[in-house]
Structure 1
Amino acid sequence: MRGRLAVLWTTLRDSFWFLPTVMVGLAVLLAEGAVNADERVELETLRAWPWVYGGSADGARSMLAAIAGSVIGVAGTTFSITIAALSLASSQMGPRLLEHFTRDRGNQITLGTFIATFAYCLLVLRTVRGGDESPFVPHVAVTLGLGLALVSLAILIYFIAHIAGSINVGRVVRLVSDELVSTIEAQFPERGDHPAPAAAAAPADPAHAREVRASAGGYLQALDVAGLLRLAGRHGAVIRLTVRPGQFVFPGMVVAHTAPAALGQVRAALVTGPRRTSPQDVEFAVQQLVEVAVRALSPGINDPFTAIAVLDHLGAALCRVSGREMPQREHAQGGQVRLVIPATDYGGLTDVMFHQIRQNGASHPAVMLRLLEVLAIVAEQERDPGRRSSLRRHAALTLRAALRETGEEADRRDLEKRFRRFQAAVQGTAG
């Protein structure tokens, strides 16, 4: 349940409409509060403040109507610009990266400011009375409306600069890289932080263990690890999952094995949805970066510089991993392993990072040279022999693919030189 609530809150918080809706609600409260303040404050008191609106009811109506009309018009224009920018970004970087634009706080605040100002002016406008009616001009509320109009103008200037920067591929790569780093820090424990369990997991009893089958399909977005541990301890069982966050779960697919009494509760602890999310799925952030690089290397775009930037960020992520353990497979409670979860290993992680870039960039010597350099830098920091073996495998594949596609002798010599540097880095680390 906790995992499901966490995913729901994350989805709600990142949605394009949530923050603007909150801002509209605050605008409603501000309008009511300002009008109530006007009803309690004497006009003579307000005249002591020259910056407070002091005009007539007709003037207040005209001002509020002008602000409301202009703000909603600007909102429509600015978000037409946003749609055009998203179309451009989608063709260059891939549609899966569009959610970074929709959950961008700057875009949400811009929309929220315009709509909140519009709602505020409408609510205050309905309270203005003049002529044969009992006269009432909410001077404070009208002044606040003018202030919101000035804020909207400042937000418009900010938005124009912000949207221009948002479609910059370097900024998008950095945002996805930051997500990858956050996932690594959350899912990859520091060496020594989580010692191995004191007891090995007991094998599941085939006479009592039962299959847990998914009731619906979708990507596994999150696991409630703490809840599953408590559940296993309560029933004295071992829960063995067959899927990990990021994998697609088909309806009726076996997702776990456990004691019969825990079947329904295990199913409830697995949160599935229509799309992948990055908090527990490190490969998702990696694949988003790789997609940017692969699209950049396509003949239609032919931008090796973006692919090189992606390789730099992937290398930085692997350098962070070098001081950490891979995600835990076994989770213990009371000295007994109670939960077993499939987890990404180092070889699989590097495969996701480098295979497609190598396959699509083999004809770009600059990209292959940078890939060998990145592997050498990571190898200098990595002490684990198994991980160095994975890096050595990718370096050999890179050299072989690049030499096969490169005809220029000078480029071939550069590739072989970079490979020798990689070998020297591995040998230096081993020594």
Structure 2
Amino acid sequence: MNGTLRERLEALGEAFWLRPGMLVLAGVLLGEGVVRAEGTEWLRSILPEGWIYAGGEAGARSLLSAVAASTIGVAGTVFSITVAALTLASGQMGPRLLRNFVRDGGNQAALGIFLGTFAYALVVLRTVRSTEEGAFVPHLGVTGALLLALVCVAMLVWFVHHVASGINVETVIALVHNDLCAALARLSLDRPDPPAPPPPTGGQVVALPEGGYLRALDEAALADWAAEAGVAVVLHVRPGDHVFRGVPVAQVVPDAGGDAVERVREALTLGPRQAAAQDLEFAVRQLVEVGVRALSSGINDPFTAMAVLDHLGDALCRLCGRHLAGAAVLRDGRAVLFRRVTDYDGLLDAMFHLVRQSGTGSAAVLIHLLDVLAAVLTAEDNPGRRAALLRHANLALAAGREGLRDRAALAALEARHAALPGGSGPLPSPS
């Protein structure tokens, strides 16, 4: 699946109205179908004897009206609870995590089932006629409304549990961690890309007349065109970057005229916010935001920051033995597309810089950061990556020496640093 298609599917997942709208449509079609099937023996035989509604026109109107009124009322309550949960999550864990709550299929399905039941009850209710109007009572339709009402009761109980557990910070961290691991598995390689030659210089400068975040990049299509045209494309942006109007986003060497501008514009998908489809650091930023907010003076929750560090370390351990994409895309052995990519050093910087800077005065966070780095160092055997991990360990030690006033805490931090794999001694037990 190419990046553009994945980005469009991701955008559909962020459309909160999509699932509820589909369930409302399903309710309308089901109501119409049940009314049209009234009187068929095979459909009646599905339900046990005595379950089919056997009352008259007045009772059918009352039951359907009660189901419609109650479900639309509960739907409003469900929507209010969802908005309250979003507000709480935005204040405690950051507004960028609202994406995960909006994409939550459970929240969308709960609202959709109540609205779908309301639409079903209305469709069936309009067919009920008294003796003066032609005497028609949709017994199967009323029975279906009762069954859907019971489903709504069960859904309401489940929804309360789902929202209560969904706003738990540990649950949110685990969900974002799963997104990060999926991105690492999707965007990393079993074998390293061949070394990239130096990108060419000069050529045709390409700028866009509009701005926005680069949500997706169709690298395959752009590389195929460059190979056919005999040119090389040097990109200055990568997914997740903000593209500014009139600022060059690429160079085409040699000059390929107006066709180059059109091809580059077609390959770049811009939007008002970032997307996770091709941006490896997207989930990292979400996790880091939770940790940084937890370390703010208003919240002061180092345990949440430590949980974030645990999940970041686990993601790095999953990356052991795998390789990040190279800077060049080849066609027939020739580099035709030069792109900006996330390297291992950049990934570590995105993971640890902000947490370390926010936790300078917290001995527990800095010591735990060294513990996480020690665990990753134990699993990682790449010399270059080990050097990058040790660089962050040195930065954590320097931050502790500058920010910690407790001598015992500083001594524990220095002992952790000295005991890193490859250091002077075994790793001390956690204090």
TM-score of the pair, normalised by structure 1: 0.93
Asked whether 1:291 is paired with 2:285, we answer no
Asked whether 1:78 is paired with 2:78, we answer yes
The answer to whether the 8 A contact 1:379-1:426 is kept is no
In 2, Cα distance between equivalents of 1:128 and 1:42: 22
In 2, Cα distance between equivalents of 1:425 and 1:319: 20
In structure 2, which of residues 222, 234, 241 is the aligned counterpart of residue 240 of structure 1?
Answer: 234
- Who is 2:363 aligned against? 365
- Following superposition, the deviation at residue 277 of structure 1 comes to 0.9
Secondary structure of 1:422's counterpart equals coil
Secondary structure of 2:178's counterpart equals helix
The answer to whether the 8 A contact 1:201-1:337 is kept is no
- Who is 1:316 aligned against? 314
In 2, Cα distance between equivalents of 1:31 and 1:356: 54
Q: 1:315 to 1:113 in 2, by over 3 A?
A: same
Q: 1:286 to 1:425 in 2, by over 3 A?
A: farther
In 2, Cα distance between equivalents of 1:63 and 1:365: 63
The answer to whether the 8 A contact 2:10-2:277 is kept is no
- Who is 1:34 aligned against? 34
- Following superposition, the deviation at residue 215 of structure 1 comes to 2.2
In structure 2, which of residues 212, 215, 221 is the aligned counterpart of residue 218 of structure 1?
Answer: 212
The answer to whether the 8 A contact 1:388-1:426 is kept is no
Q: Percent identity?
A: 48
- Who is 1:203 aligned against? 200
Q: 1:409 to 1:99 in 2, by over 3 A?
A: same
Secondary structure of 1:98's counterpart equals helix
| Structure 1: stretches of 5+ with no match in the other structure | none
In 2, Cα distance between equivalents of 1:43 and 1:158: 30
Secondary structure of 2:51's counterpart equals coil
In 2, Cα distance between equivalents of 1:184 and 1:426: 33
Write the letter of the residue equivalent to 2:59: G
Q: 1:54 to 1:394 in 2, by over 3 A?
A: same
Write the letter of the residue equivalent to 2:385: R
Q: 1:426 to 1:186 in 2, by over 3 A?
A: farther
The answer to whether the 8 A contact 2:419-2:425 is kept is no
Secondary structure of 1:298's counterpart equals coil
When the two structures are aligned, how many residues end up with a matched partner? 422
The answer to whether the 8 A contact 1:200-1:336 is kept is no
In 1, Cα distance between equivalents of 2:111 and 2:74: 10
Equivalences for residues 330-369 of structure 1 within 5 A: 330-369=328-367
Q: 1:195 to 1:102 in 2, by over 3 A?
A: closer
- 210-219 or 107-116, larger mean C-alpha shift: 210-219
Asked whether 1:152 is paired with 2:145, we answer no
The answer to whether the 8 A contact 2:418-2:425 is kept is no
Equivalences for residues 269-288 of structure 1 within 5 A: 269-288=267-286
- Following superposition, the deviation at residue 200 of structure 1 comes to 4.5
The answer to whether the 8 A contact 1:31-1:141 is kept is yes
- Following superposition, the deviation at residue 393 of structure 1 comes to 1.2
- Who is 1:164 aligned against? 164
Secondary structure of 1:282's counterpart equals coil
In 1, Cα distance between equivalents of 2:44 and 2:282: 63
The answer to whether the 8 A contact 2:72-2:115 is kept is yes
Write the letter of the residue equivalent to 1:229: A
Q: 1:43 to 1:420 in 2, by over 3 A?
A: closer
In 2, Cα distance between equivalents of 1:370 and 1:45: 64
The answer to whether the 8 A contact 1:46-1:52 is kept is no
- Following superposition, the deviation at residue 85 of structure 1 comes to 2.0
Q: 1:242 to 1:59 in 2, by over 3 A?
A: same
Secondary structure of 1:312's counterpart equals helix
In 2, Cα distance between equivalents of 1:339 and 1:169: 41
- 419-428 or 130-139, larger mean C-alpha shift: 419-428
- Following superposition, the deviation at residue 409 of structure 1 comes to 2.4
- Following superposition, the deviation at residue 224 of structure 1 comes to 0.7
In 2, Cα distance between equivalents of 1:362 and 1:86: 30
Deviation string for 1:226-251 (max 9, x for gaps)? Answer: 11121112211111111000000001
In 2, Cα distance between equivalents of 1:427 and 1:270: 51
In 2, Cα distance between equivalents of 1:224 and 1:274: 18
Write the letter of the residue equivalent to 2:281: E
| Structure 2: stretches of 5+ with no match in the other structure | 427-431
- Who is 1:424 aligned against? 422
Deviation string for 1:257-312 (max 9, x for gaps)? Answer: 12323221111110010111112111121111111001000111010000000000
In 2, Cα distance between equivalents of 1:249 and 1:12: 23
The answer to whether the 8 A contact 2:199-2:234 is kept is no
- 63-72 or 6-15, larger mean C-alpha shift: 6-15
The answer to whether the 8 A contact 2:68-2:117 is kept is yes
Asked whether 1:414 is paired with 2:408, we answer no
- Following superposition, the deviation at residue 116 of structure 1 comes to 0.2
In 1, Cα distance between equivalents of 2:417 and 2:46: 78
The answer to whether the 8 A contact 1:20-1:112 is kept is yes
- Following superposition, the deviation at residue 113 of structure 1 comes to 0.4
In 2, Cα distance between equivalents of 1:80 and 1:426: 58
Secondary structure of 1:222's counterpart equals strand
- Who is 1:378 aligned against? 376
Q: 1:156 to 1:45 in 2, by over 3 A?
A: closer
- 318-327 or 90-99, larger mean C-alpha shift: 318-327
Write the letter of the residue equivalent to 1:141: G
In structure 2, which of residues 246, 249, 263 is the aligned counterpart of residue 252 of structure 1?
Answer: 246
- Following superposition, the deviation at residue 196 of structure 1 comes to 1.5
Deviation string for 1:23-75 (max 9, x for gaps)? Answer: 11111111111011105559998998311111101111110100010011111
In 2, Cα distance between equivalents of 1:121 and 1:216: 47
Secondary structure of 2:408's counterpart equals helix
Secondary structure of 1:149's counterpart equals helix
- Who is 2:429 aligned against? none
In 2, Cα distance between equivalents of 1:104 and 1:71: 21
In 1, Cα distance between equivalents of 2:288 and 2:47: 63
Q: 1:216 to 1:426 in 2, by over 3 A?
A: farther
